[in-house]
């Protein structure tokens, strides 16, 4: 697979030392004003901000709250991120990629009816975006997400089948977070390899880290129970697909956490170009 590095502007020089072929900028809401110096040979990937002005983006939102933007506002903000990505891409190579979390969040358990409505809103909302000249990828979610000091339920874009249905309806591909998928499988007693095999042909970009339980994400290689011995042979089929490591605080100390993960996953057999 092709190496991409997660990056923010302050640690850009550190990440470039890994000689990545793609740079995945994880935007905060202030990055709508981001400016970079120089030209880059890498492909640009932008991970859209997950919240804006202390409210979550949620294209499957059933209504605005003091912690969640409305579906309409979320679409508007994602469009701004797309436009900024296209502007930044003048300094990069190739077609840029935009990665977005779909939302579908709730603090309390949602009813089956509410969840089905959220699922319908995902594709409906995406179709309202102007995404020409950008490679738009929704990312699968973990069963639980931590925001503003609390644990939220994720209700959409969890299963490979739901993702395939979305891909069939929209004609778009996805970003597949192996860690998120493993947490979902742990919670629901499913097999990660089965899920990966269902969606692999619709994936263009992967996020990699170890995971444990149903909410232990972003772990260093070997600190969780993700079956890398079964996953790596599948990933090695994808010589033209990109990936980025998402180890928690992996960017610190010049990217030490990322370096450790890359060393260990290569030792386990992952072929990286």
Cα-based angle 47, 52, 53 (whole degrees, multiple of 5): 150
Containing structural domain, residue 223:
2-264
pLDDT tens digit sequence for 133-186: 999 999 999 999 999 999 999 999 999 999 999 999 999 999 999 999 999 999
| CATH number of domain containing 9 | 3.20.20.150
Model pLDDT, residue 163 = 98
Q: Is there a domain that residue 273 lies in?
A: no
238: helix, strand or coil: coil
What DSSP designation does 103 have? -
Domain count within the chain? 1
Is the entire prediction scored with pTM above 0.95?
A: yes
Q: Is there a domain that residue 20 lies in?
A: yes
pLDDT tens digit sequence for 14-48: 999 999 999 999 999 999 999 999 999 999 999 99
What mean pLDDT comes out for the span 43-68? 97
Q: Is there a domain that residue 270 lies in?
A: no
pLDDT tens digit sequence for 78-124: 999 999 999 999 999 999 999 999 999 999 999 999 999 999 999 99
Query: Which pLDDT band holds residue 254 (cuts at 50, 70, 90)?
Result: very high
Q: Is there a domain that residue 272 lies in?
A: no
CA 241/CA 2 separation, integer angstroms: 6
Q: Is there a domain that residue 189 lies in?
A: yes
Q: Is there a domain that residue 90 lies in?
A: yes
CA 1/CA 131 separation, integer angstroms: 26
Compute the CA torsion angle 70, 73, 77, 79 (nearest 10 deg): 110
Q: Is there a domain that residue 16 lies in?
A: yes
The count of C-alpha atoms lying within 13 angstroms of the C-alpha of 52, restricted to the half-sphere facing its C-beta, is 19
Q: Is there a domain that residue 77 lies in?
A: yes
Model pLDDT, residue 270 = 98
């Amino acid at each position: 697979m092709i190496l991409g590095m997660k990056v923010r502007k302050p640690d850009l020089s550190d990440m470039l030392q890994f000689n990545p072929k793609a740079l995945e900028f994880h935007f905060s809401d202030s990055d709508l004003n981001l400016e970079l110096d120089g030209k880059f040979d890498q492909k640009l990937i932008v991970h859209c901000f997950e919240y804006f002005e202390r409210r979550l983006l949620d294209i499957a939102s059933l209504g605005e709250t003091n912690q969640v933007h409305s579906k309409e506002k979320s679409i508007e903000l994602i469009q701004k991120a797309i436009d900024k990505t296209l502007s930044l891409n003048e300094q990069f190579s190739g077609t840029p990629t935009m990665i977005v979390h779909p939302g579908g969040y709730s603090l309390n358990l949602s009813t089956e009816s509410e969840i089905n409505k959220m699922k319908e809103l995902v594709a409906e909302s995406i179709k309202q975006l102007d995404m020409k000249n950008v490679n738009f990828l929704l990312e699968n979610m973990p069963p639980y997400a931590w925001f503003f000091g609390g644990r939220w339920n994720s209700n959409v874009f969890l299963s490979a089948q739901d993702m395939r249905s979305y891909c069939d309806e929209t004609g778009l591909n996805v970003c597949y977070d192996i860690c998120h998928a493993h947490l979902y499988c742990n919670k629901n007693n499913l097999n990660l390899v089965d899920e990966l095999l269902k969606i692999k042909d619709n994936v263009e970009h992967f996020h990699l880290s170890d995971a444990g339980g149903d909410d232990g994400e972003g772990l260093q290689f070997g600190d969780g129970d993700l079956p890398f011995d079964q996953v790596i042979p599948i990933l090695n089929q994808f010589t033209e697909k990109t990936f980025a490591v998402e180890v928690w605080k992996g960017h610190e100390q010049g990217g030490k956490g990322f370096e450790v993960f890359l060393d260990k996953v290569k030792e386990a057999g992952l072929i990286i170009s």
